[in-house]
Amino acid sequence: MDATRVVIIGGGAAGLAACHTLRKLGIPVLLLEKDDQVGGRLGGDRVAGFCIDQGADFFCPSYDITFRLCEELGLPLRRSAMNLGWYRNGRWVVTRAGNPVLASLRGLGALRALGALSPAGARFLFKLLSGLKRQSEHLNFSSDSRLVELDEGESFGEYLDRLGAPDSLRVTLKGFLEMTMGHVEASGAAYMRTYLSEMLLKHSELSVPPQGAGALAHALAAASGDSIRVSTPVRRVLMNRAGQPHSVITDDGPIEAVAVICAVPATRVAGIIPDLHDEVRAALGTVEYSSGCRVVIGLDHPPLPSGWHGALYPEDDTPLLLDRSINLPDIAPPGKSTLDLLVGRDRAEQLLPLADEEIKRRLLDDARRNRPPGSALPQDHEGIFTRVYRWQEAVCMGPPGMFRAMARMRRELARDGNGLFLAGDYMGVPSVNGALASGVASAEQVAARLQNSGAPLE
């Protein structure tokens, strides 16, 4: 084989980071994306002067590779802490940005409504927070996170039981994760505690580019220029007898490759690469995702009460409501706003097969049932535009044992050294940062392999 082109399958955060890194190293690379635009779950749409995040919408303070790439690509970051209304026990309470849920005296009413002021609640919170602080070195999303050392096969539900979480506080803690992430009690305790650590202890440090998280995907795509081919699904990766990938099959025919980085969700890998080792296939089988659905409506007025960035309904399946234009004014033209409606859990599964208009109608119906006081939620047919995003694989749920299985799998693949690399959020701590970090790491491994083999560049 004399062509030394590296082929990347999938143009989400992982694939884009791999592509950008290989180009910087001067290695010829071709990224093939099945959809008509790149970004995947970090995708950003531009509609009528609005910037829309299709999936990910904020970065946690430990996102080291994300921040490095933003800096490298000239993307500034803006703090994204939010004032949130919570609908609990039939009434609305508000928690303020910069005053994490558990702090301020001003928030006593809110804390009581959220279940934090009972003796059992206080005991549980003390245990939870001291545990998070003690293990904060592990509980983060950074590229060198040692979360695998805490992955002892315990689920988040078992962890809440072990710490004696009272029901009311349990709803609060699970609820805000579940609204976008699905049934988190079945997720790994280590992973969910990482979210809690970042959200509760470092709430005010969440950040995002002024034009939304999708701006990072746009910037990575722009930096990757002609290395990207969209609307090109890869059907199959072909391996030789030694188990080395040599070409990928697309609808336009085969493309030769000296190495392949497969950067699609874990659930899709075996369909594209049937010749995977049993151990790798079994490890991939441990990865699970939630489903999700997001509706974004462009408006000429703010939809939520003044000063609110979002409204949460942790007790039921009402969508999470966000007006992102409040802390990110650049995402909407002057005087305009956006309303995001986000839902996970079984509700998302029910909605995914429906038509856009029906999804919008049902979610707005749910939201209007207990509308925040003084809100101006749109009517069904209102909106400068409406976009609906469906995610069969939304957020990787990090089930108990997944991190250990992935660590074993990484060792296995490295031992094989056969030119097949896997990248994606599930290869790190699932998040934008985990995905970007895995993309960068796989590109660096490919570069080292090519250097060792002395293969000539195309």
Ligand X SMILES: Cc1cc2nc3c(=O)[nH]c(=O)nc-3n(C[C@H](O)[C@H](O)[C@H](O)COP(=O)(O)OP(=O)(O)OC[C@H]3O[C@@H](n4cnc5c(N)ncnc54)[C@H](O)[C@@H]3O)c2cc1C
Query: Which residue, 9 or 29, is less far from ligand X as judged by CB?
Result: 9
41 vs 170, which CB is nearer to ligand X?
41
Q: How far is the CB of 281 from ligand X (least distance, A)?
A: 17
Which pair of tokens denotes residue 266?
Answer: 């874990």
Least CB distance to ligand X at residue 67 (A)? 12
By CB under 6 A, name the binding residues for ligand X: 9-15, 32-35, 40-42, 55-58, 180, 233-234, 263-265, 268, 272, 292, 294, 391, 394-395, 424-425, 430-432, 435
Cβ proximity to ligand X: between 20 and 88 the closer is: 20
Contact 389, 55 (CB under 8 A): yes
Q: Which two tokens stand for residue 179?
A: 């609204």
- Of residues 7 and 332, the one with the C-beta less far from ligand X: 7
Looking at beta carbons only, is 116 or 147 nearer to ligand X? Answer: 147
CB of 127 to ligand X, least distance (A): 27
Q: In whole angstroms, how close is the CB of 441 to ligand X at the nearest point?
A: 13
Q: What are phi and psi of 238, to 5 degrees?
A: -95, 135
| Cα-Cα-Cα-Cα dihedral sign, residues 262, 268, 270, 272 | negative
- The residue whose Cβ lies closest to ligand X is 12
Residue 85 or 265 with smaller CB distance to ligand X = 265
Instruction: In whole angstroms, give the CA distance from residue 355 to residue 393.
Output: 19
In the complex, the smallest distance separating the C-beta of residue 249 from ligand X, rounded to whole angstroms, is 10
| Euclidean distance between CA atoms 293 and 164, whole angstroms | 32
Q: Are 387 and 51 in contact (CB under 8 A)?
A: no
Minimum CB distance to ligand X, residue 132 (Å): 19
Contact 235, 65 (CB under 8 A): no
Smallest distance, ligand X to C-beta of residue 198, A: 10
Calculate helix-pair angle for 432-453, 13-24, nearest 10 degrees.
40
Nearer to ligand X by C-beta: 151 or 340?
Answer: 340
Geometric angle at alpha carbon 344, from 343 and 350, rounded to 5°: 90
Interior/surface letters 377-393, b for 16+ CB within 10 angstroms, e for the rest: bbeeebbbebbbbbbeb
Nearest to 293 by CA among 331, 345, 248, 246: 345
Please answer whether residues 433 and 242 qualify as being in contact, where contact means their C-beta atoms are separated by less than 8 angstroms. no
